[in-house]
Amino acid sequence: MSTVITNQPFAGLTPPNVGEARIRDAYPSVAANFAIATLGYRLTQTIILAPLAWLVMGGVYFGKLLPGIGRRYSLTNRRLMIRAGWKGTPIAEVALADIDDVRIVTDANSNFFRAGNLEVIKAGKVVLTLPGVPCPDAFRQAVLTACDAWVPGRCKAQPFISANDFKG
């Protein structure tokens, strides 16, 4: 079955059985590459070497848009996926019905880059890892909310989280 991702102003208007609608996209930050992020962070701590850090990190930052190596994370009303290239071909995905929880894993660079790794949990095991997600709290909440909204029988009472509670 071929799916077409529609671009609508309101993602909630397309039920999953009618079509796939994009809810949210995120491009990985420099923190997705731990070695480059650590080197860049250390170099920015000095005045003299900071421009070198910008050059090193700039390659990774703008590389996310290149056709061959560019990546982005997409959440739809059916699945969560890692997409590659300009066309956005899915290279890894997990259905919303298969997601039990989403964990945020931080490292030494997370605070500096305001990013973290998201681990998608199914039956107690990590089935998908999204490295370097900017504002990981908000993206995690979007995934869990999409699961509650679109997976039949899944809706559970979640505490209200104001948009002002997210830092990013």
C-alpha 136/C-alpha 105 separation (Å) is 9
Strand ranges in the chain using DSSP code E only, listed in sequence order: 5-6, 20-26, 71-76, 79-84, 89-95, 101-105, 115-122, 125-134
* Chain segment 85-106, per-residue pLDDT in tens: 888 889 999 999 999 999 999 9
Q: Quick one: average pLDDT of 8-26?
A: 74
CATH architecture label of 23-151? Roll (2.30)
pLDDT, averaged across the chain: 84
* Chain segment 40-73, per-residue pLDDT in tens: 888 888 889 888 888 888 877 777 777 777 889 9
Q: What is the pLDDT of residue 57?
A: 83
